Structure 1
Amino acid sequence: MALDEVMEMAARRGFFWQGFRDVYSDAPAGLWVYGPLGVKMKNKVIELWREKIVRREEGVELDSTCISPGSVFEASGHTKHFNDKLVECLKCHRRHRADMLLEEQAGLTGLEGLSEEELYKLIVEKMVKCPYCGSSEFSEVRRFNLMFEMRIGATGKDIAYLRPETTQSSVVEIRRLQQIARNKLPLVICQVGKAFRNEISPRHGLIRTREFNMAEVQIFFDPEYPDYDNKFESVRKYRLRFLPAYAREAGEVVEMTCEEALEEGYTINKLVTYWLALYQKLMTEDYGFPLEKVRYYELNEHERAHYARAHWDLQIYSEDLGWVEVVNNAYRTDHDVIGHSRLSGRELKLYSEKRKQSIVPHMYEPSIGIDRLILHLLLLNYRREGERVVEKLPRRLAPIDVAVFPLVNKPELIKAASEIYGTLLEDFEAFYDESGSIGRRYRRMDEIGTPVCVTVDYQTLEDKTVTLRDRDTMAQVRVHVDELKTAIKRFIAGEPLEKLGTPMG
């Protein structure tokens, strides 16, 4: 499986690996560490989101705490509703998500809306076995709250939680943020940060973890005047890919333009429709996933989160994992705002210029799972071409922009290559290597996705030209060192290598 190879490569080369396991073999699952390459790639993934979403949509960015008072999640409904359904093996006492056991052993899907009694009946009927000890004797299914509870202060009386989402801090800060944004409405609040969920059965690498990274946007708007006419016009004819709840059994994607989706009442209003288009474009045009591997999966009324009136998972397909949610898209209406107002006794209203009064806003939220996105970028761009392994990542998302090599380990070439490397560090994530054959050095860079390599050879000493090598085609051109930075920038931006210098060979 490509997934196994990607996971091995990621740990060996320094993208990510399971935390603490090198020293403590009994460390719990679901805790992952990003290494040097993973940190660089994660930063680039987030910066692209900031460029395409935060800045273009005039968002205000917030950095809130990971710890929240218990009252926050009482108001939002998480203490009551943020549950998974758990079953315990009566022999080895391992605990599992009931729906995951049925999905993996019986091939059943779409189980989120079933009751505890219905899930237990299926476990018995399908003769599900514990994956650890093989027993088929299980407890009855029960609910398990996924939040990490903690106590604040020396007395231990004040209950708090590690946040399972960034959303609630955006909600409670909306009045201050609208004031800072000079009464702008819709108000677009953006957050990047950690979230925590006490997953019953962490699995599939970065897909289901207990601590993870999110890039979330909360759009607060006047439900009577969403005010997205101009933005909607820019995507009116853009085609969205849906798997509606009614078409799920057939499994066929339904394509419709934004205009058609809105006219049918499927996407609620122009604002929601625009953001659905924006995130499909982000995943396909910016992060580079093939359009046919992206779809919006509609959740039905039994599957939707407790806060959502409408809910679509933007899913990405791979042969190893199937369709996996990468972006959660929820129309949360005024659920969160009303909940906090009711519990706190304080009104959370925003000023509407159209109505000349303060109103209770509605909220739409697209939320990216950054770790899932990174894993899918590595998985879907992984190639084995003969003896060569190459990560054909989008150029601007590769952790290393450019590598610099002397052709052979000679003092004069090392000196020239080191000087060039030093100048490139000012503008790029650059890497220098003089160890081993030039072919092996190229292969090491191919494996981690470095889009271009600079080689200093004896001709460099004569005319100050170097070779540029394209990761994907392995073609090379010669470029003068004075034009090197410009050539690399153009290449990372998407220009073909042959336009940047004199072809070789």
Structure 2
Amino acid sequence: MKLALERGFYFPSCEIYSDSQAGFWEYGPTGLSLKNKFLELWRRELVRRDQMIEIDGSQIMSRSVFEASGHLESFADPIVKCTGCGATFRADRMISEAGGLEIPENAGLEEFDQAILQNGIRCAKCGHDLGPARRFNMMFRVGIGPDGEEAYLRPETCQSIFVDFPRIFKTMRGRLPLGIAQAGKSFRNEISPRQSLLRLREFYQAEIEVFCNPANLNDLEKFARLQDTVIRIQTGTEPKAMTCREAVQSGAVPSEFVAYYLGMLAEFYQKTGIDMERSRFRRLGDKEKAFYAEAAFDFEVETTTGWLELVACNYRSDYDLGCHARKSKEKFEVMDGDQKVLPHVFEISMGIDRSLYTILEHSLRDDRENERTVLSIVPYLAPVHVGVLSLVKKGGLREKTDEVFDSLKTKVDAFLDHSGAIGRRYRRLDEIGVPYALTVDHQTLEDGTVTIRERDSMEQRRIRLADVTGEITGLVSFP
């Protein structure tokens, strides 16, 4: 958090005002650069790799959409209210923090009431008794036009994919299986947002909905590409590493279709620099699954806050298309060869903010031997790819450094710095994860070479000015 606030990664929205609300954060220059590169990696490794289609849907959607999807009825968290001071709390989280008892958020209300009574849980603020548990719908309602016609900010990005599916499939000459992707903001009226980017009211998602013929889930030609990819599956107490093929054969994953996309996801996060030995795909029980899911896996990564869910992977069957077909009276069936089918859907719903937080935490290290803080982000995700520094500003070095910077600034994310001791400038670059630094010194003017310094090892070597652009672009490009 200290690094994020001091180095422009992210910070609270409207922080200068006392009435600013929790759960809203803003990305600064370094954070935005990291987010944009993360999304480009997502597009390359998932969307383009699997020949998916990407759309950009509206953030405000009509009431009918959420009536059909079940969100107006079912998208709610359990809450309890203090009978004394009136403070409101998440019931499941309060029980977990008080006694370590984990109750799924979609459990029956009587389970929360019973656990609160049996564990003697009282208001954390004033100590009074808590009222009965009830459900709180987390969608933000908005009024459209002068009459305030009812609509809602989307709580997830996927609903526009579902309602647009017939048009997209027709106009793009779709064939099953077909992946449709969307990245953008979603909105949830969280009761108690906390821990910066981990639980927000306004947040970024990258969602993929893969439409398929349910008769072909174990007849996936492209499964061979990823059948040997290792994923860590937890169905018991500890995660177990196995190949995608072994996961299907053992029954840990229900089909080749699901295993294929879990494998793709694992390979993607491997390339973000997250420690995959601290990751797992946890299969959810019946009480934990979302109301629309037949089978569900959460991709979770261990952090200092505990196991953190980064991606929800849900086999939603034909729930969504069926609901929208019944509500809208439109046809959602498509042809798959000679067969007319109502497609089933497998969802990969990624939390971008949580993913970025995890990348930062897993990359941050305290190099006490060299008295520096280092953010060892993989080079292609680094907010700045290269720092361009002059040893001193005199004797023509400033002008030469500006010339080197000008040759790089349209090719990579470069940062120009003339001010301060060279060691201090290196340390500032290390803190925001800049993988390379170029230093222009007196020898540069003599033989046309510059020093290139590597962030993690601090090793330095000299390269020719004529090779700088090709060398740097090669070092920081996506693998």
User: In 2, distance between residues paired with 1:146 and 1:94?
Assistant: 17
User: In 2, distance between residues paired with 1:267 and 1:337?
Assistant: 24
User: In 1, distance between residues paired with 2:41 and 2:410?
Assistant: 20
1:174/1:350 contact within 8 Å kept: no
Aligned partner of residue 290 in structure 2, secondary structure: coil
1:389/1:447 contact within 8 Å kept: yes
Q: Which residue of 1 aligns with 2:398?
A: 414
- Report whether the alignment pairs 1:10 with 2:4: yes
The verdict on how the C-alpha distance between 1:309 and 1:425 changes in structure 2, with shifts beyond 3 A counting, is same
Aligned partner of residue 33 in structure 1, secondary structure: strand
Which aligned pairs between 1:126-165 and structure 2 lie closer than 5 A?
A: 126-131=119-124, 133-156=125-148, 158-165=149-156
Q: Which residue of 2 aligns with 1:224?
A: 215
User: In 1, distance between residues paired with 2:174 and 2:477?
Assistant: 37
Aligned partner of residue 316 in structure 1, secondary structure: strand
Residue type at the aligned position of 1:30:
G
Where in structure 1 are there 5+ consecutive unaligned residues? Answer: 1-6, 496-505
- Report whether the alignment pairs 1:259 with 2:245: yes
Which aligned pairs between 1:312-327 and structure 2 lie closer than 5 A?
A: 312-318=297-303, 320-327=304-311
Q: Which residue of 2 aligns with 1:366?
A: 348
- Report whether the alignment pairs 1:98 with 2:98: no
Deviation string 1:79-136 (CA, Å, 9 cap, x unpaired) is 11111101112333221111111222322235335322221222233233434x2424
- Report whether the alignment pairs 1:209 with 2:193: no
Q: Which residue of 1 aligns with 2:15?
A: 21
Q: Which residue of 2 aligns with 1:500?
A: none
User: Which is worse superposed, 258-267 or 409-418?
Assistant: 258-267
Q: Which residue of 1 aligns with 2:410?
A: 426
State the 1:234 CA deviation.
Answer: 1.6
User: In 2, distance between residues paired with 1:48 and 1:358?
Assistant: 35
Residue type at the aligned position of 1:287:
T
| CA-atom RMSD in angstroms | 1.6
Aligned partner of residue 425 in structure 2, secondary structure: helix
Aligned partner of residue 259 in structure 2, secondary structure: helix
Deviation string 1:210-265 (CA, Å, 9 cap, x unpaired) is 00001110000111124853211122233321111xx1xxx211333322322344
User: In 2, distance between residues paired with 1:59 and 1:315?
Assistant: 24
Residue type at the aligned position of 1:317:
E
State the 1:494 CA deviation.
Answer: 8.4
State the 1:440 CA deviation.
Answer: 0.7
1:382/1:389 contact within 8 Å kept: yes
Aligned partner of residue 68 in structure 1, secondary structure: strand
TM-score after normalising by structure 2:
0.96
1:309 equivalent among 289, 294, 298: 294
User: In 2, distance between residues paired with 1:433 and 1:127?
Assistant: 59
User: In 2, distance between residues paired with 1:51 and 1:316?
Assistant: 22
Q: Which residue of 1 aligns with 2:234?
A: 243
1:443 equivalent among 404, 427, 434: 427
Aligned partner of residue 440 in structure 1, secondary structure: helix
User: In 2, distance between residues paired with 1:111 and 1:307?
Assistant: 15
State the 1:139 CA deviation.
Answer: 1.4
Q: Which residue of 2 aligns with 1:4?
A: none
State the 1:411 CA deviation.
Answer: 5.0
Residue type at the aligned position of 1:485:
T
- Report whether the alignment pairs 1:343 with 2:318: no
User: In 2, distance between residues paired with 1:126 and 1:227?
Assistant: 47
- Report whether the alignment pairs 1:186 with 2:186: no
1:73/1:79 contact within 8 Å kept: yes
1:186/1:227 contact within 8 Å kept: no
Where in structure 2 are there 5+ consecutive unaligned residues? Answer: none
Residue type at the aligned position of 1:382:
L
Aligned partner of residue 479 in structure 1, secondary structure: strand
Q: Which residue of 2 aligns with 1:391?
A: 375
- Report whether the alignment pairs 1:474 with 2:467: no
State the 1:269 CA deviation.
Answer: 2.2
User: In 2, distance between residues paired with 1:292 and 1:129?
Assistant: 39
Q: Which residue of 1 aligns with 2:105?
A: 112
1:283 equivalent among 256, 269, 277: 269
State the 1:476 CA deviation.
Answer: 0.5
1:186/1:226 contact within 8 Å kept: no
Aligned partner of residue 112 in structure 2, secondary structure: helix
Aligned partner of residue 43 in structure 1, secondary structure: helix
Q: Which residue of 2 aligns with 1:272?
A: 258
2:84/2:126 contact within 8 Å kept: no
User: In 1, distance between residues paired with 2:323 and 2:395?
Assistant: 69
Aligned partner of residue 206 in structure 1, secondary structure: helix
User: In 2, distance between residues paired with 1:152 and 1:493?
Assistant: 45
User: In 2, distance between residues paired with 1:106 and 1:437?
Assistant: 53
1:127/1:136 contact within 8 Å kept: no
State the 1:487 CA deviation.
Answer: 1.2
TM-score after normalising by structure 1:
0.92
Aligned partner of residue 84 in structure 1, secondary structure: strand
User: Which is worse superposed, 217-226 or 454-463?
Assistant: 217-226
State the 1:491 CA deviation.
Answer: 2.1
- Report whether the alignment pairs 1:298 with 2:292: no
Deviation string 1:353-407 (CA, Å, 9 cap, x unpaired) is 1xx1431000001011000000001111111111200100111111001111101
Deviation string 1:385-438 (CA, Å, 9 cap, x unpaired) is 112001001111110011111012325111110111111101011111111100
Aligned partner of residue 299 in structure 2, secondary structure: strand
User: Which is worse superposed, 292-301 or 325-334?
Assistant: 292-301
User: In 2, distance between residues paired with 1:128 and 1:21?
Assistant: 33
Q: Which residue of 2 aligns with 1:503?
A: none
